[in-house]
Structure 1
Amino acid sequence: SEISSILGISASQVMKVLQELFEFGLITYHRTDSVRVSDAGIKVAREYLSEKLGESWDKFFEGRVWGVGGAHECIRPTRPIDAETLRELISEGVIEIPRRLHNTHFRVYDIIFRRFIASQMSKALVRKRSVEFRVEVITGDSRHFELPPISKEIISEVVFDRFNKVLKSLRVYQVPDDGLYSSEGSDFKYYVESVYEVPLHTEASVVRTMKERGIGRPSTYAKIVETILKRRYAFSKRRGELIPSLLGREVYNYLTEKYARLVSEERTRVLESKMSSVESDDSLYNDLLRELYEELRTNELLGVTGYEL
């Protein structure tokens, strides 16, 4: 969902690009939400930083595993090669790829590479300051009013960049030494906007919400959104917002009225948990299948009844 938001492309497009990067051997398995880093992954980060930073690399490197167990590790690059170098090596024929990579491939790879390398670097040291914004407004018809003050903590200086040397995610604001700043005559535009109690979802926010609520898995996030759009349960606007269709609402109402227990978020979370339990060998899959079969039989959702497990 983060890549989708950054690049402004759909979740299905992101998954397609990730699938191709994986098939080309440039990244590890991508249909996972694991954060675990293998020894091989830590080695990739160590080699890259030692080559790029020279003798001072060990001041920046802080190898981390981040998690334990699981069938897969985190999504990461398979080699200590950044996006710029990868583009050059492919152009020179040093690295051969079955199909031509487009700019989107390199942009997605760059996000993955920077985020992973940063995760293996030491923390940045910054100075922060608390600031308060006060604005007095004079309108064109000479009316005066003051906007409510806004307090915010900002970064005024990066003392040691460390992980930010690669990720470049810290935003620094310049603050006067005396802590005071004033500006007169600045132009302000006043916008009147429609405010919705629940803002419209985008594909990225749908995926993010599913993650937060424990619905679905990395291998199904994009497919779920793709299916919703394909069946016209919702439509995507030009700016990416999703609008539920009449058909989508009717299907939702029918399922929640007739099978509320089976399609609830809580039921989905419980089922995901049980599947994970089977995957980690904490429970037997036969027990789970029997439970699901009985549930479907009770709700008369089986095409053939009377079959016993």
Structure 2
Amino acid sequence: MDLIIVESPTKAKTLVKFLDKTYRIEATMGHIRDLPKSELGVDIEHDFKPHYVTPRDKTRRVNELVDIARQANRIILATDPDREGEAIGWHIANILFTKLGASRSKKPSKSKTKKTAADYDRIVFHEITGSAIRDALKNPRRIDMPLVDAQQARRVLDRLVGYKLSPLLWQKLSRRWLSAGRVQSVVVRLVVEREREIAAFKRKKYYSLTGEFATASAGSQKLLTAELVSKDGQKYAVKDTITLFDGTYTTTATTIDTATGAQSIKDDFKEPFTVSSVDKKEIVKNPQPPFTTSTLQQEAARRFYFSAKKTMQVAQRLYEEGIITYHRTDSVNLSDKFIREARDYIQKTYSDKFLPKSPRIYTTKSKVAQEAHEAIRPTTTTLLSADLENKSGYNRDHVRLYDLIWKRALASQAQSAVFDSTTVVIDDASGYRFETQGSIIKFEGYLKITGRDVNEVVIPDVATGDRLLCRNVDITEHFTNPPPRYSEAALVKTLEEKDIGRPSTYAPIISTIQERNYVEREEKKFKPTQLGNVVTDFLVDHFAQIISLPFTATIENSLDKIAKGEKKWVPVIADFYSSFAQKLEHTYKTADRIKMAAEETGQTCPQCGSPLLIRIGRYGKFIACSTFPKCNYTRQFVETVSDVHCPRCGGNIIIKKSKRGKSFYGCSNYPKCTFAAWKKEDIK
């Protein structure tokens, strides 16, 4: 019997479908070794050696695996094909080598003696299909120790920062439940800095003029609208670019900054209005590459409002069931086999004209793309989302995400879409110029697969020299908008662009900063809490380099070099820790304690009559007596929206939390009134 060890029962069940009874597949049920929770677990004095332990709830499973392994002729590690999976495989091998090393050497007929834990057979596959499993079993390898070292280095780094910085926060901010993290604190800082950039932004008023024109020909008239763009060659549009913490932000306005000025321009228009040019051209739009982890998270957030965590959970199930390829990847590469299958499907389903002459080859743009994975794709083109819908065990989320992955992968090998684009320029007799643009789909191409997620604007047929009638001119007041708060998709995109963490770490990081009450969601956008602001300010004052974008990206680059075998992990940790430890010691000695200001409520304590205050606790704001601990009265804090009332009963509108921690608007008279809304503008 050959023993194959994987992480999850679902993955094990899928493997069973493709292997005969000479193989036994067992699951570890997740991590079976990790750093201890109750202590640092890193020996700083001896090359940062990690002290791994088996969690109590995994002891029984480990013993079961050891007993099964004793009966095996061969032990094969089939954990996931990335750094995390490589490290899990290494931990399994270490435990088995420790327990079975001596007995193994006594059974040379069944298995070769292992000199180290890394000698165990390791197989890697990026999709759970029969052919992939068979190929992997024919080509086993040893454990890739540089990959293990990279994961180990990340784990040790994060443990050092978290377990050393967090107690400092407890002491200086007098809250023993606060936490800091090497990447976590940088992500919180992004949200904090953005909120301050929004507050500091000065909105600029400006005006635009839109003309409504009609053809002067006999019969039915055709209307088109066009924007005023210039006067005597001088454009009205102006751009302003400001520097943000994560880059730059550009706003576009016009030089028309008063209503009087706009009206004066309108009064100055003179007939005739003549079409001075009609520019028609063909625009070719290529399909997007297949999904990486990051782009899948972004698109699922945009389309379905999935959190990064939810996207990864749903994708994990699809992968373990053998339906999609491995979902933690930086690559946009597709296998030759899938490309042939996709092209054949497109040709047979949609016809030859939807198929480009040669396969599309995409290049990974990520500066530090990790292991040579494929992009996320279906394992077969023949399984449609409708088929998945009819299978038991899959819900709507599985079907929607699979449909997204299937369409994106297939479309990446389809013909380009072609648009007819038209730009019409209209001049009046006083030197004012209007422009309008429109486009229509000439050939669907890949949009036949993905669906038409485009807005077509049809421009009436006009010719150069045509005289037009100006039916009306609208003057519209505008204000420049500040940079937007981060949505989940925007935050993931920024993390990837700035090399903060890696796509596989985005989901847990974004979940953690919400669980720690450092940021919260408001209308699907992130904003910092008071606690997030205070902690970020403290860290910026004393550890500015560690929570800077360039430094965090440099660390990620070093981890990637460790994974490639270009760097050793201990010197990287030592170099970081030497300066970090000095700064930590200095901050303990010199930093003042920070007292977080409590807000007054104007209310009195029902128990003792003292003023009530709004305080911040582990789970957010709450109301407490100002004489605590003398009086321990507390109650839940309810945030009231002052400028709107319940449209059903006239009660106050309050901000509440759903079971999943998402904010929504509800009536204060609940349960008598059940009005609720996700967005403020929906309260009508």
* TM-score normalised over the length of structure 2: 0.36
**2:449 match:** 166
- The one-letter code sitting in structure 2 at the alignment partner of 1:244 is P
Distance in 1, Cα, partners of 2:513 & 2:405 = 27
Distance in 2, Cα, partners of 1:133 & 1:34 = 47
1:91-130 matches, cutoff 5 A: 91=390, 100-130=393-423
- The one-letter code sitting in structure 2 at the alignment partner of 1:87 is L
1:232 to 517, 520, 525: 517
**1:40 match:** 337
Matched, 1:275 2:556: no
Change (3 A) 1:26 1:295: farther
Task: State the Cα deviation string for residues 175-218 of structure 1 (Å, max 9, x = none).
Answer: 211169989689x997988x763322222221122122221211
- The one-letter code sitting in structure 1 at the alignment partner of 2:541 is E
Larger Rg, first or second structure (1 or 2): 2
Larger fraction in strand: 2
Query: What displacement does 1:231 show?
Result: 0.5
Distance in 2, Cα, partners of 1:299 & 1:71 = 38
Change (3 A) 1:183 1:280: farther
2:525 to 208, 218, 241: 241
Alignment check: 8 A CA contact 1:44 1:78 kept? no
Distance in 2, Cα, partners of 1:268 & 1:208 = 16
1:112-191 matches, cutoff 5 A: 112-131=405-424, 152=437, 154-158=438-442, 160-168=443-451, 169-178=453-462
Q: Helix, strand or coil for the counterpart of 1:220?
A: helix
Higher mean displacement: 4-13 or 261-270: 4-13
Alignment check: 8 A CA contact 2:517 2:532 kept? yes
**2:573 match:** 289
Q: Helix, strand or coil for the counterpart of 2:331?
A: coil
Q: Percent identity?
A: 28
Alignment check: 8 A CA contact 1:83 1:106 kept? no
Change (3 A) 1:280 1:43: farther
Change (3 A) 1:41 1:255: farther
**2:536 match:** 252
- Tell me how large the CA RMSD over aligned residues is: 3.2
Task: State the Cα deviation string for residues 137-168 of structure 1 (Å, max 9, x = none).
Answer: xxxxxxxxxxx96654x42332x332222123
Q: Helix, strand or coil for the counterpart of 2:319?
A: helix
Larger fraction in helix: 1
Change (3 A) 1:284 1:50: farther
1:9 to 283, 292, 306: 306
**1:219 match:** 504
Alignment check: 8 A CA contact 1:233 1:247 kept? yes
Q: Helix, strand or coil for the counterpart of 2:567?
A: coil
Distance in 1, Cα, partners of 2:470 & 2:507 = 47
1:70-81 matches, cutoff 5 A: 70-81=371-382
Q: Helix, strand or coil for the counterpart of 1:270?
A: helix
Alignment check: 8 A CA contact 1:119 1:163 kept? yes
Distance in 2, Cα, partners of 1:182 & 1:101 = 59
Change (3 A) 1:173 1:196: closer
Distance in 1, Cα, partners of 2:413 & 2:509 = 32
Higher mean displacement: 116-125 or 267-276: 116-125
Task: State the Cα deviation string for residues 261-307 of structure 1 (Å, max 9, x = none).
Answer: 11111111111112122223333334323323434444347xxxxxx
Distance in 1, Cα, partners of 2:560 & 2:424 = 46
1:185-204 matches, cutoff 5 A: 197-204=482-489
Alignment check: 8 A CA contact 2:354 2:445 kept? no
2:360 to 54, 64, 84: 64
Distance in 2, Cα, partners of 1:217 & 1:176 = 49
Alignment check: 8 A CA contact 1:37 1:67 kept? no
Distance in 1, Cα, partners of 2:469 & 2:531 = 55
Q: Helix, strand or coil for the counterpart of 2:423?
A: strand
1:261 to 545, 548, 556: 545
Distance in 2, Cα, partners of 1:62 & 1:74 = 19
Q: Helix, strand or coil for the counterpart of 1:261?
A: coil
**2:195 match:** none
Distance in 1, Cα, partners of 2:358 & 2:300 = 25
Higher mean displacement: 122-131 or 252-261: 122-131
Total equivalences in the alignment: 274
Alignment check: 8 A CA contact 2:423 2:435 kept? no
Distance in 2, Cα, partners of 1:189 & 1:105 = 48
Distance in 1, Cα, partners of 2:515 & 2:435 = 44
Change (3 A) 1:110 1:192: same
Matched, 1:31 2:328: yes
Q: Which aligned segments of 4 or more residues in structure 1 are displaced greater than 6 angstroms?
A: 179-183, 188-193
Alignment check: 8 A CA contact 1:22 1:28 kept? yes
Q: Helix, strand or coil for the counterpart of 1:219?
A: helix
Query: What displacement does 1:173 show?
Result: 2.4
Alignment check: 8 A CA contact 2:353 2:415 kept? no
Query: What displacement does 1:244 show?
Result: 0.7
Query: What displacement does 1:257 show?
Result: 1.1
Query: What displacement does 1:230 show?
Result: 0.5
Q: Helix, strand or coil for the counterpart of 1:156?
A: strand
Alignment gaps of 5+ in structure 2: 1-297, 428-432, 586-684
Q: Helix, strand or coil for the counterpart of 1:125?
A: strand
- The one-letter code sitting in structure 2 at the alignment partner of 1:219 is S
Distance in 2, Cα, partners of 1:247 & 1:184 = 56
Alignment check: 8 A CA contact 1:155 1:172 kept? yes
Distance in 1, Cα, partners of 2:503 & 2:492 = 9
